[in-house]
Chains A and B, each alone.
Chain A
Amino acid sequence: MKGLLDLIVGDPQADRVVPPTGVTARLTIFVSAVMAFLAIVALALSLSTGRVADRWADELAQAATLRLPADPEQADAHLAKTLEILETTPGVASARALTNEEQQALLEPWFGSDLPFDTLPIPQLVEIIADEPAYDPEGLQARLTAEVPGAVLDDHANWRDPLLAAAGRVRLIGWAVILLIGASVAAMITLAAHASLAANAQVIRVLRLVGARDVYIARAFVRRYTLRAGLGAIAGVVLALIVLQILPDGGGFFAEVGFDGAGWIWPLVIPLLAAIVAFFATRAAAMARLREQT
């Protein structure tokens, strides 16, 4: 805790030994801001994708569709029998037959609106909403097969599983992007610190001459880069949040992009992570460089 306080408050005398200006200072702030911006956008997309996928998966898990054979002569009897079975099946909250209009609306994207619906043998669809705990799909299918031959229960597993897998992959890509951004920040800070240490070789020589320990010399550089990376990241995060706020939603997925609930921790954590990465990268670079300059 004291070390953290020392890092934030610093030693004004020690800070002054390193020249305060230089292109590496501006570059560090700029790159840190850009990386934080990208990290926030990547996180927002990843978390939003996860949220949307979870919601879709929940909806799909709750609903199932039962398709009855397209047999005009026995359609009503099949439907009545099916509804009777569903009413007595534990785990089924409700079941209802889709109306002709609803079925037509489902077919419209493939066959158009002028489909002669009445003249075609269209299978009757029944929407089932599961209760908690849900029904046993295999048991229900077996009962329906016995009572209503040709009835097919679709519990949407074929849709849900690939969707969940895709959402998982998007989340994984999101985390990989965050890791790559972190590694890029570390690499950039390391290069900038090396450049700064090389540019300040004379300062280091003098400090060594007067008995400065390596940790003292390194601290002046480490504190400066840590604060620069942190401040740059704060700027990048603020900019990213503004951009996410003004993103045109178009009534679709982009309306979901952003943070909610515990997700809001990330805009706070990213500058901290940037500062931590900068701290360790600069410290390692400084100590390595100082060892080389013996």
Chain B
Amino acid sequence: MIELDNVSYGHNGTALFSQLSLTLAPGSFQFLTGPSGAGKTTLLRLCYADLRAQKGKARLFGQDAATLDRDGVAMSRRRIGVVHQDCQFIDHLSVAENIALPLTVAGRVSEAAGNLKELLSWVGLGPQSGRLPPELSGGERQRAALARAVIMSPDVIIADEPTGNVDWEMSQRLLSLLVELNRMGKTVLIATHDLNIIRSLKSDVDARVLRLKDGQLTTAGSVL
């Protein structure tokens, strides 16, 4: 699905990480942990070609991300649902319109009506569908972002601190939605600094936990 092969990335001449490799196999569930500033968000952005690797290769669905043109990147994004840390929305569009946006831009508006109703009910946002994003609570925004990320039925779901702004109960609900999507065959990658949520899902999903620290990506004590 998505493969980072010996990639390096840094800001202003300082390497954030170098020669880092990661593979998101189809149907896998992975957590990405690490302290703040370790580069988790940067790593996720490399996974959906929002950033380009300074060294090494990033492959999205078998294609070298460096060779993708702007349209190619857009087409790849349609296969990747992204839940941002800050849940970016178009504020003058209703919640329903925001959630349906991936279908709208893909010219698949006709599919929106059926999918949307089901999805709104699934994330528990039916009554809020006509409201504007600034009127939503933190948890509602996270759920709306998740609904938008999955409405196209993407192959991969990448979530950056999806439970960052919500209480424990809501975070469990959001994570259970992601687990359910994984059971449906979707590849899931979640970045979080909260180890408690990983522990809470241990019995529900066979997840691999990756740790990014000091430019090294490790799992179960080994360097990837």
Residues of A within 8 A of B (CB): 13-14, 16-17, 19, 202-203, 205-216, 290-291, 294
The chain B residue with its CB closest to the CB of A21 is B92
**Could you say which of A16, A202, A205, A208 contacts B77, with CB atoms under 8 Å apart?**
A208
Q: Mark B119-136, 1 if CB is under 8 A from A, else 0.
A: 000000000000000000
The answer to whether A16 touches B105 (Cβ under 8 A) is no
Whether a CB of chain A sits under 8 angstroms from the CB of B109 is: yes
The answer to whether B71 touches A202 (Cβ under 8 A) is no
Chain A to chain B contacts (Cβ below 8 Å), 16 pairs: A13-B104, A14-B105, A17-B101, A205-B88, A208-B74, A208-B77, A209-B77, A209-B82, A209-B84, A210-B148, A211-B74, A211-B76, A211-B77, A213-B71, A216-B105, A291-B70
8 smallest beta-carbon distances between A and B, as pairs: A211-B78, A211-B77, A212-B105, A210-B102, A213-B74, A13-B104, A210-B101, A206-B88
The chain A residue with its CB closest to the CB of B80 is A211
Q: Mark B64-78, 1 if CB is under 8 A from A, else 0.
A: 000000110011111
The answer to whether B70 touches A214 (Cβ under 8 A) is yes
The answer to whether A16 touches B101 (Cβ under 8 A) is no
The answer to whether A16 touches B97 (Cβ under 8 A) is yes
Tell me the complex Cα distance, A169–B106, Å. Answer: 54
The chain A residue with its CB closest to the CB of B105 is A212
Tell me the complex Cα distance, A212–B101, Å. Answer: 9
Whether a CB of chain A sits under 8 angstroms from the CB of B25 is: no
The smallest beta-carbon distance between A276 and chain B, in angstroms, is 26
Tell me the complex Cα distance, A168–B218, Å. Answer: 81
**Could you say which of A16, A211, A215 contacts B75, with CB atoms under 8 Å apart?**
A211
Whether a CB of chain A sits under 8 angstroms from the CB of B15 is: no
**Could you say which of B71, B88, B104 contacts A14, with CB atoms under 8 Å apart?**
B104
The answer to whether B102 touches A211 (Cβ under 8 A) is yes
**Could you say which of A205, A211, A290 contacts B106, with CB atoms under 8 Å apart?**
A211
Tell me the complex Cα distance, A202–B93, Å. Answer: 13
The answer to whether B93 touches A16 (Cβ under 8 A) is yes
The chain B residue with its CB closest to the CB of A14 is B104
Tell me the complex Cα distance, A211–B68, Å. Answer: 14
The answer to whether B101 touches A206 (Cβ under 8 A) is yes
List 11 additional A-B contacts (Cβ < 8 Å) besides A17-B101, A210-B102. A13-B109, A14-B104, A206-B90, A206-B101, A207-B90, A208-B77, A210-B77, A210-B101, A213-B70, A213-B71, A214-B70
- Taking CB atoms, residues of chain A closer than 8 Å to B98 are 206
Q: Mark B81-103, 1 if CB is under 8 A from A, else 0.
A: 01010001111110001100110
The answer to whether A210 touches B97 (Cβ under 8 A) is no
- Taking CB atoms, residues of chain A closer than 8 Å to B88 are 202, 205-206, 209
- Taking CB atoms, residues of chain A closer than 8 Å to B92 are 19
The chain A residue with its CB closest to the CB of B89 is A206
- Taking CB atoms, residues of chain A closer than 8 Å to B109 are 13
Tell me the complex Cα distance, A87–B180, Å. Answer: 110
For A13, A211, A212, A215, which residue has the most chain B Cβ atoms within 10 angstroms? A211
Tell me the complex Cα distance, A291–B69, Å. Answer: 11
The smallest beta-carbon distance between A14 and chain B, in angstroms, is 7
Tell me the complex Cα distance, A14–B90, Å. Answer: 12
The chain B residue with its CB closest to the CB of A12 is B109
The answer to whether B102 touches A203 (Cβ under 8 A) is no
- Taking CB atoms, residues of chain A closer than 8 Å to B77 are 208-211
- Taking CB atoms, residues of chain B closer than 8 Å to A294 are 70
Tell me the complex Cα distance, A169–B98, Å. Answer: 58
- Taking CB atoms, residues of chain A closer than 8 Å to B105 are 14, 207, 210-213, 216
The smallest beta-carbon distance between B110 and chain A, in angstroms, is 11
**Could you say which of B70, B90, B102 contacts A17, with CB atoms under 8 Å apart?**
B90
The chain A residue with its CB closest to the CB of B149 is A210
The smallest beta-carbon distance between A162 and chain B, in angstroms, is 59
- Taking CB atoms, residues of chain B closer than 8 Å to A210 are 77-78, 101-102, 105, 148
The answer to whether A214 touches B104 (Cβ under 8 A) is no
The smallest beta-carbon distance between B88 and chain A, in angstroms, is 5
